[in-house]
Structure 1
């Protein structure tokens, strides 16, 4: 029975046809010219936007802004339209241009770039891959990230200082009593800090828009962007907390604390709405701190869904005018969230579920050929039999070249959710053993979000790679190795010629995980093209527990469960179709403009002023309505187009499977191993020796170092990369550090 199921799996996983060759030189050159123009436009818009925000606290810039706002106050949108155009319009414009750039370059940009890859003549430093901080409160920080942190801190300090000096000069000579004067100055300072917090909020939602065109534009995967969201979240909540605390002190000094806190409408703001919003924000902030997040992840996850309440009461607190400062990023997040919601409604076909004897579960999921991803991608997986609310991130363990109609993930049983999945499969195996004539596949109803990852497979741009994994952290490196082996074996563009894989595990029972990657069947032995060295460190065993032949256990001892329900992964999010994505974004933005126009016309015709808090709420309602009512039809048509395309692909795939007989592993010719493998017991990786060895062996070159594992492992590797880069000689390599550790 296991042989039959394995045969079916192998037949289904046969690779489809090779991708089409890259575009011609002339067409590609034209596209690159248009791409350069769009990138220049985006760069200028972004530079102008950030510069204006940075200089906004300066009195001269503030006066110019208010003069321009006064000139546009007679338009249909009034001053609020001017504020929206300046503070939120640029990020929407950059998003549209980013999508246009992707459409112009189409799906062949990666192939064209890969065909043009050439090894660098001289190794050089890169700000994004040079770790300047290896162990600190922010974890491993690259030089580019440190520059970004310094710029944000400089802006906050400069803005608060400028506002404070302006208020001091204005109120220092005021005839008010000292207590009242101090309270008034505290109120003004609190208001200024709130404005600075709003500008931080304008960037807070950008990193968590997982499939956003902006993240794809700068090639920042979601697992990396989540770090920036955490950093910005701490800063934003610190400023908002200080904002509320200063107001509380000022009101207490005036003896009006209770009255002010409970007031629903004061001038253009609602204090009570602000109290509710800040309380919700503090709850989200406290539960996101590392002690709570690591010990009670579900508390953190469910509490974080209160962002909806936070945004609503924030809009009611500041009103529609100040809400325009940060609504651009929130709008992009809503666009992404609606797409992810539509994608996650689909039930994905689980081609097979394999339980390895080492306690690792391998799921192979169906996907359409039009869904593209790169190695080092990740997905969010939900299994409804285990939980209707929990989504868990997993690295994709397969290469895009393994097959156009599937991808796989490896799941280690280490928590409550994975333990439930393991019990589900074990119970099914016991049922099969008791009644061999009847096979009942385990009930697995899977939904998927993603895949998310790098736009460009950067690992292919290094001639020399050092892959460092801890435990199940080897999972994404299977995708890298498979990708490289496929390209080497099939003659596809790939610079990589030297790969060192360092894998640290606790016990030898995890060694069978290597059997999930059949390197010999992917690529014939070719030492002139690829030198692959695998070093395995077993930290908690001093010697093999059994005879050597059973240590490296094959997958034949595992149990394979064929599962069939649902269809392929939806392409609505992650690396979806760029044309449909552009239509969805454009229709949503156009719908938002139409709704806001109707709202303004209604106010003008009624000759009344709607209270600010209600206008802020209506602003949020217009954003939601534009995404659902105007963007929804585009998503529906996109989904219909996807289903039709998938049906055609499925028909072609079935015909190919009928015409092509699968080559079973038992019929494969015997090949020499393409890699050298060493297993070291009771030993931990000594990165000083490892990096010294590759330095002597590979010489004056660029070396890409990719780490996936615990924080301590990442810190050790980053520290060694930094040390060697700082002390390197003229003939030493440069180590480029990359982390693939996903931490929510």
Structure 2
């Protein structure tokens, strides 16, 4: 026993040392990758670096495609593998603790919002620095390409060979340069929409918080590619070669494929306009799937060799998308539902005890009885520490889909069983809110839901850890007094064994549209217990407890399988035909076979890992019927509870309620004292922007601001999934007061 304890004590420093080595190796590889992008537009790269790399990589096994794979594809995939291993070690080292070990010193100033009311929304100091560096990279690349292409001897020679004027040759070169610069945006475009990405988690980001980067990159990419296509069209028109648009060359660039890719991208781009997205969201959603057409014809346009420049992000996205598909095939065990009189419901699912997630995580759910195609993201209100075998989400009726769900559960004869599929949960790798001396939570409407999981997590820490937990001030605004029942969701449906009084929690609730409580008749909270189904499964990670380790295996093994298939194709079929000349074998066939090989290798590796994990998960069968004993009966059961008779430990009774007024956020924050104050805001976009503006103008350097924007669910984003605005549904009139606060 002594030796075992010594080993356990020695394991942590070893893991930390290994993590540090992985971190530095990843940084060095990434710096080299960035250096390649910086040098790529220069003559030094084309005349000196690239020939040397091609001499090493070109062979009868991979051809000229080998050099682009080595330069652009392999580094990022290797970083993603290292990131997965790093996260696996971190998970083992932290023992599934979601508390960040990073100190707050020096972090606050970089997290403070700098831009609030601009077109980019809330932008922090860190984001602004990276935006500036990225724009500089785009400008540098464009100027370098044009400088090299516009060299006088080159332009004159090109004009003589093509029998065009010098200005027309420059126009063609400009079109090409814009397309090459657009590849930079396309190379990064798919990283933010990979929900389970190890790369995002490795650098401290989540896909939820990175959706705005996807939007920015999409706008820039389409601007560059549209300019690229327009300039080529003008060039062909002026040189009387307009028929070039309809040419599909056997080798080299295919113009008609590029036209199809650009046309699909333009349709997709137009569909993201606010008046289309808001008035006809289903049209926007289905049109957004044209990204598949765009990617496929982009590859056919430039060829698979040049496509390897943008392949890494797409490759990781395909892995993530296929894993989400595998997870969505499970039917999840729905244990109970709480139906609130404010037209909100809380769904409680059975959960594998080995599943750990951080507060403010989200899951995507699908209810086939309402819609087989729609997937909606919602905040997880439960805490993996306090609710070891249950996972809960809160859904406010604010759209067609959520209203249909509420009607199913609130009717006089609600359903006794409901089939549900999920994807997730997704969220931050760790949290730091419990390291503050005081935490201020500002919510609007159903924006209170992410704070429920935070409060439950703090209750757990207050009862199990020796250190002092922060004081919590919850400021929640509602339209009507009946919406106050959302506060009752802070405690699980089955109650809690923890002493809630150990957490210093102050709740200030504001009812904006009523001068006094309005209770017309008895308002009941209904609790529905559903019948169990032997085929249903508990919520669990798609790859189990060692998901990051399995992900690294999937990435590496699928890439190896792809390379082996590519080697066989090149060595025994393509090389005997063209001998690496790239001037004989059709680009269309080569690109199509490569796309098929990539999809097949990912499907083989991911399916194998998924089935192996399912076989090894011994707890899965035991958890299928979890909660059967905790239900009030063996089958369907419905219980009503009056709003006025909430349990003694309910937080609703301890809340201070203000009727007919709105919170003065600036005054409240100025009255907060502490060496470290965390301000978290969740709700409508206008509210988040105005609270950010107040925090940005505050002179207190110990103020830490974070916006929980829920961009997947926000009306102002371009997601790849069907959404409902559960945390962002407040009308314009209720949010006007936040505009005025900055002017006080």
TM-score, length-scaled by structure 1: 0.86
Q: Once the 2 structures are TM-superposed, how far is the Cα of residue 240 of structure 1 from its aligned partner? A: 0.9
Equivalent residue for 2:616, pick from 641, 649, 661: 641
Q: Name the CA distance, whole Å, in 2 between partners of 1:143 and 1:80.
A: 40
In the alignment, which residue of structure 2 is the partner of 1:734? 703
2:569 alignment counterpart: 599
Counterpart for residue 228 of structure 2: 243
SS at match of 1:401: coil
Query: Which stretch has the larger CA shift, 164-173 or 384-393?
Result: 164-173
8 Å CA contact 1:353, 1:563 repeated in 2 = no
What's the CA shift for 1:525?
5.6
Quote the residue 1:15 is aligned against: none
User: Which residues in structure 2 correspond to 1:410-449 (within 5 Å)?
Assistant: 410-426=394-410, 429-431=411-413, 441-449=415-423
The 3 A distance-change label for structure 1 pair 130 and 75 is: farther
Q: Equivalent residue for 1:680?
A: 658
Q: Which residue of 2 aligns with 1:399?
A: 383
Following superposition, the deviation at residue 558 of structure 1 comes to: 2.4
Number of the residue aligned with 2:542: 572
Task: Give the match for residue 240 of structure 2.
Answer: 255
SS state at 1:450 partner:
strand
| SS of residue paired to 1:420 | helix
Q: Deviations over 1:259-301 (max 9, x none)?
A: 1111111751110011111111111111123332233222222
Which of these residues, 688, 705, 711, is aligned with residue 685 of structure 2?
A: 711
Deviation at 1:133, TM superposition (A): 0.6
1:166 aligned to which of 124, 137, 148: 148
Distance 1:522 1:511 in 2: 24
How much does 1:215 deviate? 1.8
**Deviation string, structure 1 residues 471-499 (Cα, Å, up to 9, x no partner):** 0010111111111012212x236653211
2:510 to 537, 540, 543: 537
Distance 1:738 1:115, change over 3 A: closer
1:226 to 211, 229, 245: 211
Residue 319 of structure 1 contacts residue 612 of structure 1 at CA under 8 Å; is this kept in 2? yes
The offset of 1:125, in angstroms, is 4.6
Output the CA distance in 1 between the equivalents of 2:188 and 2:6: 37
The residue that corresponds to 1:321 in the other structure is 305
Match of 1:737, SS state, is: strand
- Structure 1 position 546, deviation (Å): 4.3
**DSSP-derived class of the 2:681 partner:** strand
Structure 1 residue 106 displacement after superposition: 3.7
Shift of 1:165: 1.9
**1:548-579 CA deviation, whole Å, 9 max, x = no partner?**
xx99x6xx532524253421124216976233
> Does the 8 Å contact 2:252/2:302 carry over to 1?
yes
In 1, the alpha carbon distance for the partners of 2:282 and 2:652 equals 44
Structure 2 unmatched runs, 5+: 633-638, 720-744
User: Does the CA-based 8 Å contact 1:134-1:718 persist in structure 2?
Assistant: yes
Answer yes or no: is 1:367 the counterpart of 2:351: yes
More divergent stretch after superposition (74-83 vs 479-488):
74-83
**1:370 deviation in Å?**
2.1
Whether 1:195 aligns to 2:180 is: yes
1:61 is matched with 45
1:402 match: secondary structure: coil
Asked whether the 8 Å contact 1:441–1:563 carries over to 2, the reply is no
- Structure 1 residues 75 and 459: CA distance shift in structure 2, 3 A: farther
Q: Does 1:558 align with 2:529?
A: no
> Which residue number in structure 1 is paired with residue 337 of structure 2?
353
**3-state SS of 2:424 partner:** strand
Q: Aligned partners of 2:466 and 2:86: how far apart in 1? A: 24
Deviations 1:175-216 (A, max 9, x none): 659963222222222112111111211111111111111122
CA deviations over 1:344-384 (Å, ceiling 9, x no partner): 01111111122211100111112212222111100011100
**CA separation in 2, counterparts of 1:575 and 1:740?**
28
Instruction: Give the corresponding residue for 2:200.
Output: 215
Inter-CA distance 668–441: structure 2 relative to 1 (3 Å threshold): closer
Cα distance in 1 for residues equivalent to 2:615 and 2:273: 42
Describe the SS at the equivalent of 2:151. helix
More helix by share: 1
Contact kept, 8 Å, 2:276 with 2:284, in 1: the verdict is: yes
- 1:365 counterpart SS class: strand
Q: Which region of structure 1 is more displaced relative to structure 2, 101-110 or 266-275?
A: 101-110
Partner residue of 1:98? 83
Aligned-pair distance for 1:304?
A: 1.5
CA contact (8 A) 1:114 1:494 kept: no
What is the rounded CA distance, in whole Å, between the counterparts of 1:636 and 1:225 in structure 2?
30
Aligned partners of 2:257 and 2:298 also within 8 Å: yes
Aligned to 1:661: none
Comparing 299-308 with 568-577, greater Cα deviation is found at 568-577
> Who is 2:116 aligned against?
134
How much has 1:23 moved relative to structure 2? 9.2
Query: Which of 402, 418, 426 is matched with 1:452 structurally?
Result: 426
List gaps (5 residues or longer) in structure 1: 1-20, 432-439, 659-663
Mapped pair 1:389 → 2:344: no
Mapping 1:649-664, distance limit 5 Å = 649=623
Question: Are the structure 2 counterparts of residues 738 and 669 from structure 1 closer, same or farther at C-alpha, using a change threshold of 3 Å?
Answer: closer
Q: Is contact 2:83-2:202 (8 Å) kept?
A: yes
Q: Offset at 1:127? A: 5.2
Q: CA deviation at 1:164?
A: 1.5
Pick closer, same or farther for the CA change 1:737–1:50 going to 2, 3 Å. Answer: same
Q: Is 1:293 aligned to 2:277, yes or no?
A: yes
Preserved CA contact (<8 Å) 1:346 1:570: no
Deviates more, 1:529-538 or 1:617-626: 529-538
SS of residue matched to 2:484:
helix
Cα deviation, residue 250, structure 1: 0.6
State the Cα deviation string for residues 590-609 of structure 1 (Å, max 9, x = none).
Answer: 11111111121121234573
Counterparts of 1:246 and 1:332, CA distance in 2:
32
Pick from 18, 28, 32 the counterpart of residue 48 of structure 1: 32
Residue of structure 2 equivalent to 1:436 = none
**Partner of residue 457 from structure 2, selected from 474, 477, 483:** 483
Counterpart of 1:462?
Answer: 436
Distance 1:173 1:319 in 2: 28
CA deviation after TM superposition for structure 1 residue 396, in Å: 0.5
Alpha-carbon distance in structure 1 between the residues aligned to 2:519 and 2:692: 36
| RMSD, aligned α-carbons | 3.1
* Contact in 2 for aligned 1:318/1:613 (Cα 8 Å): no
Contact kept in structure 2, 1:506 and 1:538, CA below 8 Å: yes
Closer, same or farther: CA 162–40 of 1 in aligned 2, 3 Å: same
Query: In the aligned structure 1, how far is the partner of 2:98 from the partner of 2:630?
Result: 30
Equivalent in the alignment of 2:604: 629
Q: What does residue 723 of structure 2 align with? A: none
Match of 1:146 among 128, 136, 139: 128
Q: What residue in structure 1 maps to residue 482 of structure 2?
A: 509
**TM-score for the superposition, normalised by structure 2:** 0.86
- CA 1:241–1:22 in structure 2 vs 1: closer, same or farther (change >3 Å)? farther
CA shift, 1:131, in A, is: 0.4
Q: Which deviates more, 606-615 or 711-720?
A: 606-615
Query: 1:274 & 1:512 partners in 2: Cα distance?
Result: 55
Structure 2 partner of 1:3: none
Maintained 8 Å contact 1:88/1:324: yes
SS at 1:534 equivalent: strand
Question: 1:69: Cα distance to partner?
Answer: 3.7
**Do residues 613 (structure 1) and 588 (structure 2) align?**
yes
In the alignment, which residue of structure 1 is the partner of 2:730? none
Report the number of matched residues.
687
Deviation at 1:31, TM superposition (A): 0.4
